[in-house]
Amino acid sequence: MPLDRPHPINSLGFAKPPAETRVVVAMSGGVDSSVVAAELAAEGYDVVGVTLQLYDHGAALAKKGACCAGRDIHDARRVAETMGFPHYVLDYEDTFRAAVIDEFADSYLAGATPVPCIRCNERVKFRDLLETARDLDADCMATGHYIQRKDGENGPELHSAADADRDQSYFLFSTSPEQLAFLRFPLGHLHSKAETRALATKHGLSVADKPDSQDICFVPNGDYAAVIKKLRPGAADPGRIVDTEGNDLGEHRGVIHYTVGQRRGLGIGGLETPLYVVRLDVDRREVIVGPKELLATRTVPLKEINWLGDAPLTSRAEWPVEVRVRSTRPPRSAILRPLSDTTGTVELLTPEEGVSPGQACVFYDPESSRVFGGGWITKG
């Protein structure tokens, strides 16, 4: 009688045939997640596509260049029909508003510069949708994010994408070890978006030439202020523009129209020294401006730290790391000093300009592509 031999490990890391491996694919309707679903279906996996309806369906139909809009739901459905796997649309409007949009409005009004895409990944896609995937008896959940998951000595590790220009590690720093064990990122090893589009063409997908999303999905044309005014009527009350000594320089049209580091559009021309927004005082309805050197920050206080290192965060007084304080900036050398399991400070070895509360500070291993997590920048 022949002995049962263990099945070789498949491309998703399971010791069974692809046909017996169920994978839920989070499909936004864009080319990235569509290619993930198509590739896995072509490999013979038991693919289930899920698209989240996150905000007003009627308004979404007219909005291009954002994920999770009405036309994107149709695009995701067409991909599923082309590749022959089931596709479901889940109404997450209430969840999305409570977990993402309301906090976005409140933190913006508090003078912070929020990053709602991180909260969406953390609180909706990698929490609620991930639980839905488990309820569907999936072995794992795959997304179209450009980031890598690698098996390390102590479990799965998060690593930057092979393509530095498309790396999305900044937006995924709050992924927990438990979530990482269930997640897969099949595009993280690709070296260009052209490779992704070529795969879409190979599978005959209608989204092969679809433009990338640019805006925050619920913020049309990047107009934050218009969205805040709609969510929080009265939030655009005018106030004073003052310098760091409290001298009155003019009137502004509402704190929500300004961000730290802004120079243009202040309406206070004619001064010898260019002035930048250095702070927002929402309670006093003041926009505080000053010279560019006041934007330089060396010490960055953090809260809600998600640590992905092998040893506990507090096991050392200092961690030499590289950090990214905005998604568009390269990592810079720094020292992370933990104060607790979830709080700490980062000392930037070279000061950065425009470090703003509400942004994320993401930690990287100076010696490799590994992501060590990150935290939320708070007011000092």
State how far the Cα of 125 lies from the Cα of 140, in Å rounded to an integer: 13
Structure tokens at 217: 């999905």
The H or E element that residue 131 is part of is: helix 130-135
State how far the Cα of 198 lies from the Cα of 204, in Å rounded to an integer: 10
pLDDT above 80 (res 58): no
Tens of pLDDT along 190-207? Answer: 999 999 999 999 999 999
68 is catalytic: no
217 is catalytic: yes
Tens of pLDDT along 4-32? Answer: 567 899 999 999 999 999 999 999 999 99
Domains plus CATH for the chain? 18-221 (3.40.50.620), 236-290 (2.30.30.280), 295-377 (2.40.30.10)
Q: Which of 67, 68, 120, 140 is catalytic?
A: 120
Phi, psi values for residue 68, rounded to 5°:
65, 25
Region 101-107: mean pLDDT is 88
Region 365-380: mean pLDDT is 94
pLDDT above 70 (res 95): yes
Residue 75, by phi and psi: left (phi above 0), alpha (psi -120 to 50) or beta?
alpha
pLDDT above 80 (res 59): no
Tens of pLDDT along 149-193? Answer: 999 999 999 999 999 999 999 999 999 999 999 999 999 999 999
pLDDT above 70 (res 65): no
pLDDT above 80 (res 68): no
**201 or 353: which carries more pLDDT confidence?**
201
pTM score > 0.75 for this model? Answer: yes
Q: Which of 67, 117, 140, 217 is catalytic?
A: 217
Q: How confident is the model at residue 255 (pLDDT cuts 50, 70, 90)?
A: confident
Q: How confident is the model at residue 214 (pLDDT cuts 50, 70, 90)?
A: low
